[in-house]
Amino acid sequence: MKQKGFLIVTAQPAPVFEEEFNAWYDTEHLPERLAVPGFETALRYVATAGSRGYLAVYDTVDAGVLDTPAYLKVSFDNSSPWTKRVTGRARIYRSAGTQIYPGDALTVPSARLCLLRFRGLPADAADTIVAGMRANFEQRPETLQVRVFAYPTDGGTDFLGMVEARAPLNEFLDLKPFGSYADAIDMVNTYVPY
């Protein structure tokens, strides 16, 4: 099975800048990304718990899509003036890599999305992170799907656990299935569709 790629971006624009930020995302940025071959979905969310701000989730055919000439033509130094203006006025966290569990799922419409971040772990922590996410969320009646993403960083490998749910998730998180890797959790945010 070929693993899908992902791009996940959290953004915290200054409150006085939110109107322009949302206009840019909806009228330029999402359509521009979806026009790049290999991008399969692009969905936005707004935080309800955890840090304030927005989330964008993009599914790609594979992780290599973000290295293609088509993507590089509209990103980084080649970004539009509006993109540079907006991203220069927001606190941005960007992660891109591979969907390691289940590997081939696309983002589904959901009433809630929960995102957990595990920072700076060894790459071989993957099995434990996946097992912990599955143990915590797969048997809940409100869960639609659980996915886990991995991407290399200067400090090791960061993992994102994502739960898409049909209803609000209760606050309980059993840390035991994550073992010592639970100490690497530095973000637990809940979002609703934008």
CA atoms of 74 and 69, how far apart (whole Å): 9
CA atoms of 103 and 129, how far apart (whole Å): 14
At residue 51, the pLDDT reads 74
At residue 49, the pLDDT reads 75
Element (H, E) at 18: helix 18-24
Q: Which amino acid is at 27?
A: T
User: pTM of the predicted model, to two decimals?
Assistant: 0.95
ω into 102 cis (within 30 of 0): yes
At residue 52, the pLDDT reads 78
Q: Does domain 5-193 match CATH 3.30.70.100?
A: yes
Closest CA to 41 of 60, 18, 69, 23: 60
Task: Give the mean pLDDT per block of 10 residues along the chain (194 residues).
Answer: 94 94 97 98 92 93 98 97 95 97 97 97 98 97 98 96 96 95 96 96
At residue 50, the pLDDT reads 72
Residues 6+ apart with CB under 8 A from 83: 24, 28, 29
Sign of CA dihedral 181, 186, 189, 194: negative
